[in-house]
A and B are shown apart, each in its own frame.
Chain A
Amino acid sequence: MGGDADLVQRCLNGEPGAWDDLVALYSRYVYAIVSQGYRLTGPDAEDAFQDVFLRVYDRLGTLRNPDAIRPWIAQLTRRVCLDHIGRKDDDPHPAEPESADATLDELDEAFAVREALGRLSDDCQEVLDRFFCRDESYRTIGQELGIPAGTIASRISRCLAKLKEQLDA
């Protein structure tokens, strides 16, 4: 059983902290779909966000394949967003925003990269995070990690190769 399936089972068993873990894991994903895919903002976005997790809580027991929780949450989020847009526009069948599919694809890819990154060694996570996310220079990374600056590029390349292995696995 994979990590997602474990988490689902822990939630269904009512284990302390399991729901907090699930919300922590998927909150940014859900919020990104709400705000970027469906352009909901302010109170609309907050309402939709809460509705999604209420539905997740109510319906988690109906999830057939616990390893597929991410696409399931994505689908729930899409429905919630469309419900909100429909209520707001007084339209029972609102159209999907044109950019929604592309945005969701990008978010899924970003989520997959983040998961794969989490399976790398701490050293690799650190150096990739510093270069690609925190925008630090080779020199700064070298100074902070006590590594010669001239070896940072090689190290990043090696870690990217390992990241690709994880993504392909």
Chain B
Amino acid sequence: MGSAAAETASKAALLIAAVARETGGSWPGARGAAAQAVALGERLATLANVDAQVFTAALDALAQGAPDLKSRLEEAAAVPVEIAEKAADVAEAGLHVAERCDGQLRADAAGAAALAAGAALAAAHLVRANLALPAADERVRRAFTAADNARYAASQALDAGP
């Protein structure tokens, strides 16, 4: 599930990059925005693989009652936190592009921001649910803060214009 969230946010980032590139000459910052989105997309694709690996390791440790179970679970919790924060950055990048891109492409950028916000929320939920961490845990707080920021950015992107 964490890798699905990361892959979703990664695809959203690449869509945002494509919108920025398509807008091109009419916006001087388009290439810089595209470069940021590509960088975010690549990191999230890497995180999708990492999440799958650490989650499998955590499940194995759980099934075997491994002595290092706690550290495996801690490791598994760290990745979705990072996914949530990176997905929030994608939503922010989506807002940045939606406010400046060619009007005909704005819906794509805003939609991508919304996808990223969904991915951030899914990842935050995983941090709390998969590992039964208390709501006051710092990792849970960070992940849900990221999800809230992503949702705010996505809603602004969706309101950026028709």
Residues of A within 8 A of B (CB): 131-132, 135, 137-139, 149-150, 152-154, 156-161, 164
Residue pair A154, B29 in contact (C-beta under 8 Å) = yes
Known: A137-B88, A139-B149, A153-B96. A132 touches B29 (CB 8 A): no
- Chain A residues contacting B92 (CB-CB under 8 Å) are 138, 149-150, 152-153
**8 Å CB contact of B39 from A132, A152, A154, A158:** A132
B33 at the interface (CB under 8 A from A): yes
Residue pair A157, B33 in contact (C-beta under 8 Å) = yes
Alpha-carbon gap, A153 to B31, bound state (A): 12
Residues of B within 8 A of A (CB): 28-29, 31-33, 35-36, 39, 43, 85-86, 88-89, 92-93, 95-96, 145-146, 149, 153
Interface of chain B, helix or strand or loop or mixed? Answer: helix
The distance from the CB of B142 to the nearest CB of chain A, in whole angstroms, is 9
Residue pair B32, A157 in contact (C-beta under 8 Å) = yes
Interface of chain A, helix or strand or loop or mixed? Answer: helix
Residue pair B31, A160 in contact (C-beta under 8 Å) = yes
Alpha-carbon gap, A150 to B153, bound state (A): 9
The distance from the CB of A145 to the nearest CB of chain B, in whole angstroms, is 15
- Chain A residues contacting B85 (CB-CB under 8 Å) are 137, 139
Alpha-carbon gap, A156 to B86, bound state (A): 16
Residue pair B88, A157 in contact (C-beta under 8 Å) = no
| A-B residue pairs in contact (CB < 8 Å), sample of 6 | A137-B146, A138-B92, A154-B29, A154-B96, A161-B28, A161-B32
Residue pair B96, A160 in contact (C-beta under 8 Å) = no
Alpha-carbon gap, A164 to B35, bound state (A): 12
Residue pair B93, A139 in contact (C-beta under 8 Å) = no
Residue pair A158, B29 in contact (C-beta under 8 Å) = yes
